Amino acid sequence: MDIPFEYKTFEYDALPSSTCIRLLWPIKRLQDPEQRSINGVPLMEFLLEPSEPDRCPLYHALSYTWGNPKEALTGSSDEYSVQHRHVIAVNGRLFYVGKNLYEALYRIQERIVAPNNIDDRFGIYNKTKLIQAAEEGNLHQVTECLNQGANYQCQDNFGETALHYAAENGYPEIVRLLLLQGANATTLDRSRRDPLACCLQRKRRRWQETAEILRTWDTQDKDGSNPTKPMTLTGQPLWIDAICINQDDIPERNNQVVMMSQIYGSAHCVLAWLGEEDDTTQVACNFLSSELASPESYTKSFRRWSAYHRGESLDLDEKSDDIVMSVRELLAIKSLLTHRYDVRTVSIQLGEIVFSPVWAVRRHQSQSFPGLRWASH
């Protein structure tokens, strides 16, 4: 995979079909010491590729607002307005996004940078964590390794990749996942076997189902070569409406809007970006992450909240057995939950399980809230 970089504006190619979506992959250029920047700011680079629903890799969908995630003061200059654009690189060209989306991408990319040791070797056969997980049939661990940017083309002393081991041990779910992520089904081990040959030789577990997946998979590398790639994909791809939909193509935009619930519903995880954290964010997140008490337990807390708004003098941090939430916690939660995000398609409700796990992305970490689930808007 080699995409030359040019200081030109990005242009969309038409989607191959009406059911196709685009996914945005964070990328890292290899063998390229130059750190590209715009006005001294390092340039985040991405690859935008079409994908059919039945062959989509695991992806995250981002929910956010195109404007200011917090209410701008009336008459004040809003740095999140459409006049303020930030630049990223998509397919080697310049792509302009709003400040809020730029901040979200920056924080998300902080989290998915591959750990330095993700491809370290273990044991006398020099297996990576991903190879070990594939050999053991540990789908969860395979997924975690891929999320961290593990190189699925690494080979051990026998020349076998993670795909070889998943195939020869009859793990069709892992085989399919690796293929969806881009693993090469024609790579040969030291015995000149590709993954399908390993599967047919060993005939373990669900080998027939595994073999059928490998037989029917369209590979882009039919000659069996495995050249060193000038760039690599890092972490899982993203679906973001402002980038993955050509906003200037009205028919495409209308068609993708119809598919919106399916796109969010099929996501491995939905990321809710509420904006950069402030001094109230940690207080709110700490409370929301704790076990919620019964509704009746909050009566006195909300009475104190009302008293605070009437101007009564109160200890903002007071809590006791019958005061579940302090006034300061209520203020922090109000601040967090009034941050804007994309309410056109989804909304956050308490206690109702629908689409995918909800993660709120913050500066230093992502956090899931046990009581928050996606619900149709």
Tell me the residue ranges of DSSP E strands in 163-239. 231-233, 238-239
- % the chain with pLDDT above 70: 66
pLDDT at 277 > cutoff 80: no
Residue type at 242? A
Provide the CATH number for the domain formed by 129-232 in this structure.
1.25.40.20
Quick one: how far is CA 169 from the chain centroid? 29
Question: For residue 37, what pLDDT band results from cuts at 50, 70 and 90?
Answer: confident
> Is residue 66 packed enough to be buried (19+ CB in 10 Å), middle (13-18) or exposed (0-12)?
middle
Tell me which residue has tokens 């695991």: 58
Sorted by sequence, the CB contacts under 8 Å of residue 15 that are 6+ apart come out as 21, 22, 50, 252
- The torsion angle over the Cα atoms of residues 6, 10, 12 and 13, rounded to 10 degrees, is -10
Report pLDDT digits (tens) over 179-205. 987 789 999 999 999 999 999 999 999
Question: For residue 224, what pLDDT band results from cuts at 50, 70 and 90?
Answer: very low
Nearest to 164 by CA among 199, 138, 139: 199
Please compute the mean of the pLDDT values over residues 105-112 and round it to a whole number: 79
In the chain, what are the domain boundaries? 1-71+79-113+239-275+339-377, 129-232, 281-287+295-335
Residue type at 359? W
Beta 21-29 vs 358-361: how paired, if at all?
unpaired
Please compute the mean of the pLDDT values over residues 33-54 and round it to a whole number: 84
Is the pLDDT higher at 370 or at 243?
243
Distance CA 169, CA 131 (A): 12
- Which of 108-112, 155-159, 290-294: highest mean pLDDT? 155-159
pLDDT at 36 > cutoff 70: yes
Q: Look at the pTM and tell me if it is higher than 0.85.
A: no
pLDDT at 253 > cutoff 80: yes
